[in-house]
Amino acid sequence: MNNYDAIVIGAGHNGLTNAAFLAKAGLRVLVVERNAYIGGATVSRELHEGWQYSSCSYVCSLFRPEIYNALDLGRHGLKIIPLVSSMTFKQDGDYFGSYSQPNIRRRELMRHSLRDADAVVRFDADVLRWCKLIRGFLLRTPPDPGSFRPRDLFEFAYLLKKYYELSESQLYEFIRFFTMSIAEYLENYFENDTVLAHYSGGSIIGTGLGVYSPGTAYVLLHHAMGDVDGNIGSWGFARGGMGAVADALASSFQAHGGEIRTDADVRRIMVAGNKATGVELASGEIITAKTVVSNLDAKRTFLQIMDEADLPPQLVHRAKHFKIRGSSGKLNIALDGMPEFPALPHGSPLTLGHMHFTDTLHRLEKAYDDWKDDRWSADPYCDALVPSQYDPSLAPPGKHMMSVFVQYCPVNPEGGWTDAKREQFGQTVIDQIADYSPNFKDLLLHVEVRTPREIEEETGLTEGNIFQGELTFDQLLFNRPFPGYAQYRGPVKGMYMCGSSTHPGGGVMGAPGANAAREILRDLRRPDTTPQEFSDD
C-alpha cells in the first residue's frame, strides 16, 4: 500500500528524529531518502577502503539529551565520548592548548597570560549564563509575537520571564552579546592574541561571517551550549562516526514501526485544495499521506520540491532571499600513521582533540576577506581532528582518519568550481597542516576534498551551508526560517518543516525535528511523544 499517515522527506538526523516521535505516537510513517544511505550530513561513509569518514558533520555536542533519552538511543547503540582538548599552533613554534583538566587548563593560560588565566573564570560564568538561557528554548516552539492565541501569549510570556530572570546588568550584557562580533566580545576578557584567536574560531564555523562581523558572538553559543553529560561546552565523538547518530535514530524509528526508503528522490510535494496530499518521486511513483514533513532546508523545500503556484508569493519571495551562504569546505583524509607535530612535547594529549593553525584574529579576518572576494582562504581556519585515536573502528590498525573542517571556501570561485580547483583548495589546506607536521604529506593515502559544491551535491544543503541557513539574529527564534512560519507549519495544511532551517537552527541537535513532531501531533490530536527540556535549575 502506498498510503501513510506521514511522510518525512530526507533521512537526516532531524528527519529521523521527527519520524521517530511520530511513529512513537502510533502513526504509520515513511521516511524517503534521495541517497542510497541515510544520515544526510550526519553520516559515516567508507569512501576509501577500510576507512570510515564522518564525511560531513564530525563532532557532536548539541544533540539534546532529552531526545537521546526519549528515543532510547543508548540502547539503540549510540555512544558519545567526550573530547578532552582543543589547541592552536602558533607561527613562532609554540602552541596554546585548552585542556579539560582544570588545573592544566589554568596553567596553560598562565603560560600565555596571567591575566587571561583569571579572566577565564568570568568568561566561563558569562557564557554559561547565556547558554543556560538559550538552552531553555531549544525544545520549545517559538511563540508568534503577533498572535493573541493563548499558547503564543504563554510562550511569549515564558520567553520574557526567562529573559527578566537576568539581573539588570545581565540584561544589557545579553543584548550586547547577541549583537557583537566574537572578536570584540572576547576582547572584553582576554588580551593574548593566541587565546583570542583560539576561542573565536568556533564562532565562524559554518557562517558567512568573519570574526569582526556583528552577530558572530552568538554563534559561539551554538558551539558552546551543547553538553556531554553535564560538561557544558564540551564536544564529543560518536563511536563509529557521526553515522552512528543517524543509525541509532533509524533503529529507534524502526523499532516504533517506521519504514525508510532510500534511493527515493522526491520530485515534488503534492498539494490539492491547499492541502498536502503526498509526494511524487523522481521515478514517477506517488505516495500519499495527509502529513508531509520536509527535512530539507527552507530554500530547497519551497523552491525545488514545491510548486511555486501552490505557495503564497510572499513566502516564495522570503525563500528566495533566505540567507544560506556556503562558506565551508571539508577534507577527509586516510593516513598511513599518526602525523608528528614537533611543536608538541612528546606525549602531549592535544592531538586527541581539535587542532587549529590560526593564531591571530588578524589572520582569521584575512581568511574571511578572501571568501568575500569569492576565493578560498589562502590561509584558512581549519578544525582538524583524528578520531581514530579514540575509535579503532574508523581506520585499520596503525592507520588513522583525519577530518579537517575548513573555513572559508566560496560557493562560486571565479569561473566556477572545477575538479582541478577543488584539488588546489585541498592542497592549500594540506600545505597549512604540513607547515606544522613535517611528515604529514608522506602519510596521505587518500584525500577527499569537499567544497560547497560537493557538500550540496551529496547532502542537498543549499550552497553546502551546514546550518541550513545563517544563524544571524534576523533568522533566529520566531524569525526562523521566516516571520510567520516559525512554528514548523508550512503554508499548506498538512505540510511541515523539520530541518535546521527552523528553530533552534543548525548543529546535530535533533531539536527542530522534535519540535516539529510536537506541532504535528498537536494538529493531529495525538498524544505528545516529544520530551520536555531538562532544567538547568
Partner 1 sequence: MSIPNDHFRQAIQHTPFHARLAALTQTEEWTVWNGCMAPRVLDKLSTEYFAVRSSCSVMDMSPMEKYRITGADAYRFLDRLLTRDLSALRPGRVTYVVWCNDEGKLIDDGTLFQFGDGDYRLCSQHHQFDWLMTSAMGFDVNIEVETHDVAALAVQGPTSYSVLTEAGIAGLEDLRPFGIANLSCQDFPVVVSRTGYTGDLGYEVWVSPENALPLWDAIFSVKSRYDVHAIGLSTLEMVRIEAGFIMPGFDFNTAESTVRANFDRSPYEVGLGWVVNLDKGQFTGRKALVAESKRPAKRRLTKITIEGNKPVGEAFIYNKKGGKLVGEIKCAVWSPILKANIALADIEYIGGALPKKLWARLDYQRELKWMSAWAECRPTNKPFYSPDHRSATPPSRL
**Interaction site with partner 1 (CB under 8 A):** 94-95, 97, 99, 101, 103-104, 106-108, 110-111, 114-119, 121-122, 124-125, 128-129, 132, 165-167, 169-170, 345, 347-349, 537
CA torsion sign for 505, 510, 515, 517 is positive
- In the complex with partner 1, the residue whose CB is nearer, 162 or 522, is 162
- In the complex with partner 1, the residue whose CB is nearer, 142 or 353, is 353
Beta strands in 378-489 (DSSP E): 381-385, 400-407, 444-450
- In the complex with partner 1, the residue whose CB is nearer, 352 or 516, is 352
DSSP 237-301: EETT-THHHHHHHHHHHHHTT-EEESS--EEEEEEETTEEEEEEETTS-EEEEEEEEE-S-HHHH
In the complex, what is the shortest distance from the CB of residue 402 to partner 1, in angstroms, rounded to a whole number? Answer: 22
β-pairing verdict for 236-238 and 80-82: antiparallel
- In the complex with partner 1, the residue whose CB is nearer, 46 or 165, is 165
- In the complex with partner 1, the residue whose CB is nearer, 95 or 478, is 95
Write b or e for each residue in 321-352: b if 16 or more Cβ atoms lie within 10 A of its Cβ, otherwise e: ebebbbbbbbbbbbbbebbebebbeeeebbbb
In the complex, what is the shortest distance from the CB of residue 106 to partner 1, in angstroms, rounded to a whole number? Answer: 6
In the complex, what is the shortest distance from the CB of residue 535 to partner 1, in angstroms, rounded to a whole number? Answer: 12
In the complex, what is the shortest distance from the CB of residue 104 to partner 1, in angstroms, rounded to a whole number? Answer: 5
Q: Any idea which residue has 531538562 for its cell?
A: 534
d(CA 433, CA 443): 12
- In the complex with partner 1, the residue whose CB is nearer, 195 or 293, is 195
- In the complex with partner 1, the residue whose CB is nearer, 341 or 482, is 341
Partners of 269 in the β-ladder: 279
In the complex, what is the shortest distance from the CB of residue 259 to partner 1, in angstroms, rounded to a whole number? Answer: 45
| Rg, the chain, Cα only | 22
In the complex, what is the shortest distance from the CB of residue 350 to partner 1, in angstroms, rounded to a whole number? Answer: 8
Partners of 39 in the β-ladder: 12
3-state helix/strand/coil string of 331-367: EEEEECCCCCCCCCCCCCHHHHCEEECCCCHHHHHHH
